[in-house]
Amino acid sequence: MTLNHSIPNFLASAPTWFTIGGYEVRSHDLWIVATACACSIACGVLGCFLVLRRMSLLGDAISHAILPGLALAFIVTGSREPPAMLTGALAMGVLTAVLSSALTRWGRVQEDAAMGVVFTSLFAIGILLITFVARDIDLDPGCVLYGLIELSPFHTVSILGLQLPHSFVWVGAIMCINITLIVVFYKELKIVCFDPYLATTMGISAVLVHYALMTAVASTAVASFEAVGSILVVAMLVAPGATAHLLTDRLSHMLYWAAALAALSAIIGYIGAVAMNTSVAGMIATTALALFMLAALFAPKHGYLTRQLRQLFLSLRIAREDMLGIAYRWHEQALPNITLQTNSLSAPPPHPLTYDQLLDAASATGLSHILSRLALFSLVFNKLLTRLPSGDFLPSQLALTRARSLVRGHRLWESYLAKHLDLDPTRLHSKAHRAEHYLSPEIQGRLSASQASPTDPHGKPIPPL
């Protein structure tokens, strides 16, 4: 009998618990979602440590390489019960980690190449064993590879008089064990993840923690076989942890995020599988990938589009300040008789700046034409520049005040560089131009305290506060 990995039609005969949006939620729906959430969380929290240690490929290797352990365990014991399967898979999972480390350490093979050789070889052996040695018994390779969570509510065991799905019991137990181990050994795991050499000097065995983590990964993979299979468990081991890593830089928060994202993937994945009548495990993995892509694009700190937008705003701020600096220097040249030390900037410049003058001066500072026009539009929109009927631009008093602080920082930094680094005066302007946008009033005050001359190295007056 060949099992279809879509949701069987006969499940519609199960009793309805309640209705949401016209969809009848039945008992098996809740058990499938609960099993998927437990499996995803069990994999996701472990995946955080794999991601941090840059060992995601090793999680992939173990989840594939334990297949021969499953087949050999059945051949030896003749049983498909979880204890026998778990024993064989654990032995093969630890063997995978040992062989990978041995090839890297003694065979002068790079770590990623060693893992690739080991897990593909063991995976191929496992496929052969399952296909040829165990083909006459009910050990379906497709079930091992892809899982069959859709039918998990109908294979139950009695726990304290309650009929619970067999898969849910096992993945739920593994989830609880994983969370308990992480809570108990959180300090050791954290130190080994970020600095294994420090852990060794503190008396923590980094090797022991490594193999314990690999054992936990192997156990979780075995418990997940019936639910999501060998291949799709890799997505749940990597995707939630990788997504959480994009959202936060704190390990404790990362674990919470990974668990939440794993559960969300399971819930949305099941809803999508019901809507599309497709594989639940496959849709869960696809949802986890979709959440990762969203985080990769829109994460507050590490998202690609977020970084690009932040860079655009920074470039626009610098362009605006450059424009204001141009307006101030024009004002300074147009009013040579005004004593700037008296803070006399109340009168507007007698010759406002033209559009071409602003863009040419901005281009001389390295600003692109598009960015200069955006900055100019922003200054006019915020009423820092006023466009006259003639088309020229007149800076407001507020614009000149802001620009004065910018020019002050520029000239103070030039003076500091000339005094302490003895640089060529012709090279001071470009260096000060980059730094002027980041000099706070506190830094300017400290630079001013060490400044004896009222002018910069070029003889230009340093504006007051």
**pLDDT at res. 132:** 67
Instruction: Copy the structure tokens of residue 352.
Output: 């406002």
Domain of 401, CATH number, reads 1.10.10.10
Domain of 143, CATH number, reads 1.10.3470.10
Q: Which one has a higher pLDDT value, 223 or 38?
A: 38
- At residue 429, what is the residue type? H
The answer to the question of residue 455 being in a domain is: no
Residues 239 and 336 in one domain: no
- Taking residue 147's Cβ as centre, other Cβ atoms within 10 Å add up to 28
Could you tell me the residue range of the domain that residue 391 belongs to?
308-449
The answer to the question of residue 113 being in a domain is: yes
Domain end position, chosen among 285, 302, 319: 302
First to last CA, the chain: 85
**pLDDT mean across residues, the chain:** 80
The answer to the question of residue 144 being in a domain is: yes
**What are the CA-CA distances from residue 60 to residues 43, 51, 120, 141, 316 (Å)?**
12, 12, 10, 18, 44
Average pLDDT score over residue span 322-329: 87
Q: Do residues 47 and 238 touch, judged by C-beta distance below 8 A?
A: yes
Share of the chain above pLDDT 90, in %: 18
- Flag whether pLDDT at 382 surpasses 50: yes
Give the span between the Cα atoms of 53 and 171, in whole angstroms. 24
Residues 111 and 239 in one domain: yes
Average pLDDT score over residue span 433-456: 86
Residues 255 and 346 in one domain: no
Give the span between the Cα atoms of 260 and 287, in whole angstroms. 13
The answer to the question of residue 232 being in a domain is: yes
| pLDDT (tens digit per residue) in 254-288 | 999 999 999 999 999 888 888 888 878 888 889 99
The answer to the question of residue 464 being in a domain is: no
146 burial level (CB within 10 Å; 0-12, 13-18, 19+): buried
Residues 289 and 408 in one domain: no
**Mean pLDDT highest for which of 64-68, 82-86, 145-149?**
64-68
**pLDDT at res. 279:** 79
Residues sharing a CB contact under 8 Å with residue 53, sequence separation 6 or more, in sequence order: 192, 193
**pLDDT at res. 142:** 57
The answer to the question of residue 20 being in a domain is: yes
Domain end position, chosen among 302, 321, 344: 302
**pLDDT at res. 256:** 95
Q: Which has the minimum average pLDDT: 6-20, 57-71, 92-106, 416-430?
A: 6-20
Give the span between the Cα atoms of 268 and 355, in whole angstroms. 54
- Flag whether pLDDT at 371 surpasses 90: no
Residues 283 and 229 in one domain: yes
Residues 30 and 69 in one domain: yes
Give the span between the Cα atoms of 455 and 344, in whole angstroms. 17
Q: Which has the minimum average pLDDT: 184-193, 219-228, 430-439, 441-450?
A: 219-228
Average pLDDT score over residue span 402-424: 87
Residues 137 and 265 in one domain: yes
**pLDDT at res. 182:** 93
pTM: 0.77
Residues 43 and 157 in one domain: yes
The answer to the question of residue 460 being in a domain is: no
Give the span between the Cα atoms of 142 and 159, in whole angstroms. 29
422 burial level (CB within 10 Å; 0-12, 13-18, 19+): exposed
Residues 153 and 210 in one domain: yes
Domain count, the chain: 2
- Flag whether pLDDT at 373 surpasses 70: yes
**Residue in the block written with tokens 């076989």:** 225
Sign of the torsion angle spanned by Cα atoms 55, 59, 64, 67: positive
Q: Which one has a higher pLDDT value, 49 or 348?
A: 49
Domain end position, chosen among 258, 277, 302: 302
Average pLDDT score over residue span 139-153: 66
**pLDDT at res. 8:** 44
Give the span between the Cα atoms of 143 and 133, in whole angstroms. 16
Buried b (16+ CB within 10 A) or exposed e, 297-308: eebeeebeebee
**pLDDT at res. 214:** 80
Residues 296 and 323 in one domain: no
Q: Which has the minimum average pLDDT: 75-89, 258-272, 283-297, 412-426?
A: 75-89
Q: Do residues 65 and 100 touch, judged by C-beta distance below 8 A?
A: no
Buried b (16+ CB within 10 A) or exposed e, 377-387: ebbeeeebbee
**What are the CA-CA distances from residue 261 to residues 31, 251, 289, 379 (Å)?**
19, 15, 11, 42
**Mean pLDDT highest for which of 20-29, 100-109, 397-406?**
397-406
Residues 333 and 266 in one domain: no
Residues 376 and 273 in one domain: no
Give the span between the Cα atoms of 19 and 22, in whole angstroms. 6
The answer to the question of residue 2 being in a domain is: no
**What are the CA-CA distances from residue 65 to residues 62, 234, 249, 416 (Å)?**
5, 12, 31, 63
Q: Which residue, among 55, 7, 4, has the nearest Cα to 269 in the 3D structure? A: 7
**pLDDT at res. 6:** 43
Give the span between the Cα atoms of 254 and 233, in whole angstroms. 20
Q: What are phi and psi of 365, to 5 degrees?
A: -85, -5
Q: Which has the minimum average pLDDT: 108-112, 191-195, 276-280, 408-412?
A: 108-112
**Residue in the block written with tokens 């002068």:** 108
Average pLDDT score over residue span 43-49: 91
